[in-house]
Chain A
Amino acid sequence: MPETCIYIARSSAIAARALAGEMMVMNSADSMFFTLNEVATVIFQAADGRTPLREIVRDRICEQFDVDPEQAQADAEQFVAELSGHGILLVSNQPLASETP
């Protein structure tokens, strides 16, 4: 059975800035404020709507961090689901157009 591709893109409704390696993210819709750790920041920055999540995990996470690939993929999917639930990331099984304000 072929694997489902997950594409992720940042919502245009968010504000974001890196502070000492961690990403601050705020959704203007509800003013929920988050900070992302170094690994989560890598995924967030790579969320261009065109690169599949599995590729981001393989090429960015597993290359930069000493992690088990399957565990990294599972953690990444959980992280993406969480941020998607807060309207910070858009998720699709098709490539997404990058949102700009």
Chain B
Amino acid sequence: MSLMSEVGQKAFNLGVPLTVHLDVTYRCNERCVHCYLDHDDHGEMTTAEIKDVLDQLAEAGVFFLTFSGGEVFMRRDFFEIVEHARRLMFNVKIKTNAVMIHEEEARRIRELAVDTIQISVYSHRPEVHDAITKLPHSFERTIKSIRFLREQGLRVTIANVLMTVNSSDHMGVQKLAAELGVHYTLDPTITPMMDGDTSVLSLRIPGEDLPEIFHNPALVGSQEEFCAPPKPASAEDLEGYSCSAGHSFCYISPYGDVFPCVQFPLPTGNIRQQKFLDIWNLSPQMKEVRSIQAKDLTVCSSCSHVASCSRCPGLAYVEGNMRGPSTADCEKSFYRTGVPTENMLRQGLSKPRAISGNTAPLIQIRPIQIQPITVPA
């Protein structure tokens, strides 16, 4: 087990929120066709409120802090917020479209010792990228900004969301990332909009296209390992928990709402009304999420994939039951290994049913970091 994994496990066991994702705004200068957010400002936290949240997070033991949005640079006080976070010695990661980053901003980011900047790039073809963001010349501006950041020696990751309109471009984006000297991650997740509008789901790539991704060693590492048939679950596997959501990770919205995860829209409290640690430690919803073990899952506990499936309790919750299957992950397990899931077998399906309507994203895979962090033995 790597040192990082050991620390993660320790935080998980102790119930310490090691990692927090904080959206500082939902406002954005792009209008991406697949975006699930409402970009109007319905009362974002003020600078002082966010600084107070950061103070509370530091006290709670948070180490890894991701600032995201919306577009973080839509806040004029963003650098003031990052400066406060760094003074509190968080490891800071920023997710941005980078359009508003010029030489001066890149220099400031380096001075603040930000760990990583993750930037959305949808295609290596400017016309495809700009058609997705609906912002003319956004590709040109984003790539220019990546060069500014690299000139400062900063660590940059290109996040490539995959959908129908750019499904054939991931190799081109990977090549572009290599040329720019930055990391690359792939994310084929398309999520229903916050207001329940599911029209964006038509942009999901078909499940039948997944094997091409799952069998690409450049994306998944060892294909044999990644696509291996599931191993029988041990007693220890059945005692296990789904993921770090609510255990050592949580999400905070620009309005102060606290959730177990970005993809787990179960409200657990609002930081404007309660202290963060009170929500984290005492919220009945957080406690319920923490209580779910593999053996408690209604269908998945008897599934052959239970030990290796990346079942997301948040996506299962969106489907109606946080202890139930997440169809998106059933599909992922099936298309990864070729072995049907218990959820499919119970429905008499030989392949997953195409998802439509107000359900979870079709697929969700974790970003793949091509160059892992070096951890001393």
Chain B: CB-nearest residue to A34: B376
- Distance between Cα atoms of A31 and B153 in the complex (Å): 13
Measured between beta carbons, the chain A residues less than 8 angstroms from B116 are 31
The answer to whether B375 and A33 have CB atoms under 8 Å apart is: yes
Measured between beta carbons, the chain B residues less than 8 angstroms from A32 are 374-376
The answer to whether B373 and A19 have CB atoms under 8 Å apart is: no
The answer to whether B376 and A15 have CB atoms under 8 Å apart is: no
Q: Does A57 lie at the interface of the complex (its beta carbon under 8 Å from any beta carbon of B)? A: no
A34-62 interface mask toward B, CB cutoff 8 Å, 1 = contact, 0 = none? 11000000000000000000000000000
Choose among B7, B89, B111, B153 the residue that contacts A19 (Cβ–Cβ < 8 A).
B7
- Distance between Cα atoms of A19 and B292 in the complex (Å): 25
The answer to whether B83 and A31 have CB atoms under 8 Å apart is: no
The stretch that binds A, out of B10-18, B97-105, B125-133, B340-348, is B10-18
The answer to whether A17 and B62 have CB atoms under 8 Å apart is: yes
- Distance between Cα atoms of A100 and B87 in the complex (Å): 6
Q: How far is the CB of A90 from chain B (nearest CB, A)?
A: 14
Choose among A19, A29, A35, A101 the residue that contacts B87 (Cβ–Cβ < 8 A).
A101
Identify which of residues 55-75 in chain A touch chain B, using a CB-to-CB cut-off of 8 Å. none
The answer to whether B83 and A101 have CB atoms under 8 Å apart is: yes
Q: Does A5 lie at the interface of the complex (its beta carbon under 8 Å from any beta carbon of B)? A: no
Identify which of residues 9-29 in chain A touch chain B, using a CB-to-CB cut-off of 8 Å. 12-20, 24, 26, 28-29
Q: Does A30 lie at the interface of the complex (its beta carbon under 8 Å from any beta carbon of B)? A: yes
The answer to whether A24 and B63 have CB atoms under 8 Å apart is: yes
Interface residues of B (CB under 8 A from A): 3-4, 7, 10-11, 14, 16, 18, 58, 61-63, 83, 86-87, 89-92, 111-116, 153, 155, 373-376
Q: How far is the CB of B59 from chain A (nearest CB, A)?
A: 10
- Distance between Cα atoms of A14 and B86 in the complex (Å): 9
Measured between beta carbons, the chain B residues less than 8 angstroms from A15 are 63, 89-92, 113, 115
Complex A-B, nearest 4 residue pairs according to Cβ-Cβ distance, in ascending order:
A15-B91, A101-B86, A17-B63, A13-B113
The answer to whether B374 and A12 have CB atoms under 8 Å apart is: no
Choose among B3, B4, B91 the residue that contacts A28 (Cβ–Cβ < 8 A).
B91
- Distance between Cα atoms of A17 and B114 in the complex (Å): 16
Measured between beta carbons, the chain B residues less than 8 angstroms from A28 are 91, 113-115, 155
The answer to whether B373 and A16 have CB atoms under 8 Å apart is: no
- Distance between Cα atoms of A14 and B83 in the complex (Å): 13
Measured between beta carbons, the chain B residues less than 8 angstroms from A13 are 113
Q: How far is the CB of B317 from chain A (nearest CB, A)?
A: 29
The answer to whether B89 and A17 have CB atoms under 8 Å apart is: yes
- Distance between Cα atoms of A29 and B91 in the complex (Å): 11
Choose among B3, B86, B155 the residue that contacts A35 (Cβ–Cβ < 8 A).
B3
The answer to whether B373 and A24 have CB atoms under 8 Å apart is: no
Instruction: Please judge, given known A-B contacts A19-B16, A19-B18, A20-B10, whether A14 and B113 are in contact too, CB under 8 Å.
Output: yes
